Structure 1
Amino acid sequence: MSEHRIRLGVLTPSSNTVLEPVTQAMIAGLPDVSAHFSRFRVTEIALSESALAQFDDTPILRAAELLADARVDAIVWSGTSSGWLGFAADERLCARISAATGIAATTSMLALNDVLTSTGVKRLGLVTPYRDDVQARILANYASFGFDCVAERHLGLQENFSFAGVDAGELSGMVGAVAAEGADALAVVCTNLRAAPLVAEWEARLGLPVYDTVATAVWKGLSLAGADPACIQGWGRLFSVKP
């Protein structure tokens, strides 16, 4: 890594209590990299009009512009909303962020799709905390994207704050159940689950890659900012994949 200090800008749901400390822990061993966060209001995950309106581009762009004041090298939406909104929503958002700030942008979901494509995953396992209807929308979007979701588990939760309370045992049980049904790789889709610190242990035990969406945001964000994600050690196979 060069001597240039890299600043990673991260867009954060207002009720999320996981992604910030986990992101900081991931980059803790990189003295020339820092993460900077900007929030916008997200309190529930559902398909109601009010819940979907939380992801209107306008407040997200305002939050991105505040990150631009810190002269960050890349901006990442560390969130999974395009899983149910459709991946084109993230593509449009990133284009608008870059047009408004002049800074390269990506999202957790676009990064996840990049790694699934580049590693040739055909049979995907999916773990989330979301409601039945939200999960169904995510599965449908992945099917249209060409991925066969062969196994899934979800918890039926709606309040975003509550996702952080899902304990390690429950997460491990969900991941283990999905792995047993024949997936090539597992995706943990939600940036307010405490999954990323467990990924290396899951991979060692299950023999499968596990891609957490806090981690995918950091992986692709570092690359856009000019850093090599392989500098991050101990957080799973993702960081050995070339963006």
Structure 2
Amino acid sequence: MTDALGWRRKFGVLAPSTNTIVEPDFYRMGVPGVTAHFGRIHIHDQDMSDDAGMGRLLDQIRAEMDATCARVMTCEPDYMVMGMSAETFWGGVEGNQRFVKQIKDATGLEVATGAQACQRALELYGARRIGVVTPYQPIGDANVVRFFGELGFEVGAIMGLRCPTAVSIAHVTDNELRDALREVDGDDIDALVQCGTNLSMVRLADEAERWLGKPVLAINAATWWMALRDNGIQDQLEGAGGLLRDH
């Protein structure tokens, strides 16, 4: 039998319990016949005010991942989507591959990650030198730089906003993000990338592409784009950036 609403695809999404942005973002970018079903990863200590705090946060993610996968699999999804980006950059390319294998082993399904989605998008645009905005502490930024560097991209500038808690990431304003984009941009920058699925950036990235004249990849838009295209869904969307509109 075909699902009444998810008649094209049902996506299982893994997201931290503290994240208030990725779920409404994915719903806003919804297309007919595709539904997203969230498994919440329990975060009991959301302090990420320093490098050690970020490490503890990721330890919780890893400890909860298999159980979260098991819960979301009960709705019988067709494909998995990672609604958190830090873990997908951690440990560089090899770390991303380990994470993808963990999800495949736990669910038997393919998975879209923010890191891979950004890689595909940057290759599509032919970008080599990039500017990056994150909500992370320095250790998180270092892992982002490592991931892109191992793939041959050059991070020309990176700004970590050093959000003190996981929930506070969602409190970053458009003005703060606009200033951050300008800070990491330059004539020698081919594209801008925003990491952190709890940063509200999809709408602003769409606007920024017009006034900066270059690709601006919001992590939630890029991840959703990868999930749709991996499943043969070519619907084009307005208001979520050129990636979903034109590719």
Q: State the TM-score, normalized to the length of structure 2.
A: 0.87
Distance 2:66 2:222 in 1: 21
- Mapped to 1, the partners of 2:66 and 2:223 lie a distance apart of 18
Alignment of 1:86-235 (within 5 A): 86-180=92-186, 182-228=188-234, 230-235=235-240
1:67 maps to what in 2?
A: 72
- The answer to whether the Cα contact below 8 Å between 1:123 and 1:182 also exists between their aligned partners in 2 is yes
Distance 1:124 1:216, change over 3 A: same
Q: Is the CA contact (8 Å cut-off) linking 1:79 and 1:213 kept in structure 2?
A: no
| Ranges in structure 1 where 5+ consecutive residues have no aligned partner | none
SS of alignment partner, residue 71 of structure 2: helix
Opposite residue 70 of structure 1, the aligned amino acid is: C
Paired with 2:208 and 2:42, the residues of 1 have a C-alpha distance of 32
Cα distance, 1:140 vs structure 2: 3.0
Give the residue type in structure 1 aligned to 2:219.
T
- 2:25 maps to what in 1? 22
Output the amino acid matched with 2:33. Answer: D
**RMSD of equivalent CA atoms:** 2.1
Residue type at the aligned position of 1:24? Y
What is the CA distance between 1:237 and its match in structure 2? 1.1
Aligned counterpart, 1:11 = 14
Contact conserved, 1:186 with 1:209, CA < 8 A, in 2? yes
* 3-state secondary structure, aligned to 1:55: helix
Is the contact between residue 82 and residue 88 of structure 1 (CA under 8 Å) also seen in structure 2?
A: no
In 2, Cα distance between equivalents of 1:79 and 1:126? 16
1:237 corresponds to which residue? Answer: 242
What residue identity is the alignment partner of 2:177? L
Asked whether the equivalents of residues 129 and 188 of structure 2 are also in contact (C-alpha less than 8 Å), the reply is yes
The answer as to whether partners of 2:191 and 2:216 remain within 8 angstroms in 1 is: yes
* Structure 1 residues 161 and 100: CA distance shift in structure 2, 3 A: same
1:94-149 Cα distance to aligned partner (Å, 9 max, x none): 22322332222121111111222232211011001211232233223322331111
> Are the counterparts in 2 of residues 6 and 227 from structure 1 also a CA contact under 8 Å?
no
Q: Give me the whole-angstrom Cα distance separating, in 2, the residues matched to 1:160 and 1:114.
A: 27
Q: Report the CA distance between 1:13 and its aligned residue.
A: 1.1
C-alpha distance in 1 between matches for 2:144 and 2:38: 26
Query: For structure 1, which segment, 80-89 or 153-162, has the greater mean C-alpha deviation from structure 2 after superposition?
Result: 80-89
- One-letter amino acid matched to 2:91: L
1:74–1:224 contact (8 Å) kept in structure 2? no
Query: Is the 2:84–2:196 contact (alpha carbons within 8 Å) kept by the matching residues of 1?
Result: yes
| Structure-2 separation of matches of 1:241 and 1:107 | 21
Cα offset, 1:239, TM superposition: 1.5
Equivalent pair of 1:157/1:163 in contact (CA under 8 Å): yes
For 2:7, the aligned partner's letter is: H
Partner Cα distance (2:140, 2:32) in 1: 39
On the 8 A contact 2:89/2:96 being kept in 1, the answer is no
Q: Does 1:32 align with 2:33?
A: yes
Q: CA deviation at 1:15?
A: 0.7
> 1:161 Cα deviation (Å)?
0.7
- For 2:56 and 2:139, locate their aligned partners in 1 and report how far apart those are by CA, in whole Å: 15
